[in-house]
Amino acid sequence: MDDVRAVMDAAGMQEAIVFGISEGDSLASLFAAHHPERCQGLILYGAFAKFTSWFPTDEALEGLFQYIDTAWGSGESLRMFVPSMVGDAAFQQW
């Protein structure tokens, strides 16, 4: 939240419309709540109140953390997010 304020200060912006996407939604909301005078508007896309609610057990959530630690950015998640692109090496590299 302080980074957002620092960038706004460096750019000479007194207020802005804050846009948060997915995991960034909570930061955008927190900034708007703590600095309402600097937040002209708030747009949230893909927001969720509690990320852990996506996982039915602690073990399932731990599995996500393990994936992030070992395979984030490898394309292993394509089958979940873009199943039609599984096996497309150019898309996976992109």
Domain ranges, ordered by start, for the chain: 2-45, 51-93
pTM above 0.75?
Answer: no
Give the per-residue pLDDT at 30: 94
| Residue 68 burial (CB count, 10 A) | 11
Q: Helices 24-34 and 2-11 meet at what angle, rounded to 10?
A: 70
What mean pLDDT do residues 26-33 have? 94
42-91: pLDDT as tens digits: 999 988 877 777 788 989 989 889 988 999 888 888 888 899 999 998 99
- Match 């005078």 to its residue by tokens: 37
26 burial class (0-12, 13-18, 19+ CB within 10 angstroms)? middle
Give the per-residue pLDDT at 74: 87
Label residue 6 by pLDDT band (50, 70, 90): very high
